[in-house]
Structures are given as C-alpha cells and as structure tokens.
C-alpha cells in the first residue's frame, strides 16, 4: 500500500515539471490584441493586433473574434511573417493554422464562429527601405 502511495505521489511530482518545461518554451513571436473604438462607433468591430517577430512589428487584422479588453499571445512555429496569416481553429496547443503555427492567447479570445482569421495589414517598424507602403518581408 505504501509503495503504491509513493508511486502516485512521485507521479504527481513529475507532472508539474513537465508542464513547467512546456510553458518554458520560448515563443517565436508575440501578439498584442486591441479593439478599435472608432470602428465600433460605425457599427463594425475592428480587432487589431501587433505581431512582434525578430525585432520587427507587423499590424494584424483579426476576424471572427468578439471584442475584448485585450489579450496577449505567444506564437510558436512561425518561421516567416506571412505564415501567421490564415484560418485558426482550436487545438490541444491553443489555436492552430494549416501552416503549423500555434497561438496561445491569454486571456483566451471569444470566437463565436469557432475560427479566427488573421491577416497582415502592414509592417510597422522598422520601416521598409523599399519606399513602398504596406510591404511585408
């Protein structure tokens, strides 16, 4: 009986370490989400976000999400900025698109349709040296 209790206790001690190791993963990028009040006044809700990837910031448009106070996210599996675009559906590791990018929002976003669509609007900083507006690497 004591051996069984010791095995169960040891199993519980290992689980937090595994969870801690999983949470300690370094994200490839981060997202900060906000709601645009101007668009809300016009009867539309514009949910915007900023993606920070390798010291560059990109403006995002999020569709399919209810406006909230705001949220931040860790992004995993993001190799290039354009990989963030597309449809995201709930998965075991947050929201996931068909390119293998996973996003974990804190607090979670309210997705009434069960899907989030993300588009890059433009690169914000540092400015592209090509002189063209809205260019994305």
Query: Residues 87, 98: contact at Cβ < 8 Å?
Result: yes
Exposed/middle/buried for 36, CB within 10 Å: 0-12, 13-18, 19+? middle
pLDDT tens by residue, 55-88: 999 999 998 888 776 899 999 999 999 999 999 9
pLDDT tens by residue, 87-113: 999 998 899 999 999 999 999 988 888
Position 129 scores a pLDDT of 53
pLDDT tens by residue, 27-43: 999 999 986 655 555 55
Residue 53 has pLDDT above 80, yes or no: yes
Position 34 scores a pLDDT of 82
Residue 21 has pLDDT above 50, yes or no: no
Position 127 scores a pLDDT of 55
CA distance 34 to 84: 17
Residue 19 has pLDDT above 90, yes or no: no
What is the rounded average pLDDT for all residues in the chain?
A: 76
């Amino acid at each position: 009986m004591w051996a069984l209790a010791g095995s169960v206790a040891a199993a519980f001690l290992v689980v937090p370490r595994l969870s801690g190791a999983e949470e300690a993963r370094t994200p490839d990028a981060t997202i900060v989400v906000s709601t645009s009040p101007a668009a809300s006044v016009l009867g539309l809700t514009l949910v915007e976000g900023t993606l920070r990837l390798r010291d560059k910031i990109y403006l995002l448009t999020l569709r399919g999400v209810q406006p909230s106070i705001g949220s931040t996210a860790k992004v995993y599996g993001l190799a290039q900025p354009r990989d963030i675009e597309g449809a995201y559906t709930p998965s075991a590791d947050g929201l996931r698109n068909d390119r293998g990018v996973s996003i974990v929002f804190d607090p979670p976003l309210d997705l009434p349709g069960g899907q989030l669509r993300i588009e890059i609007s433009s690169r914000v900083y540092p400015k592209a040296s090509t002189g063209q507006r809205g260019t994305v690497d």
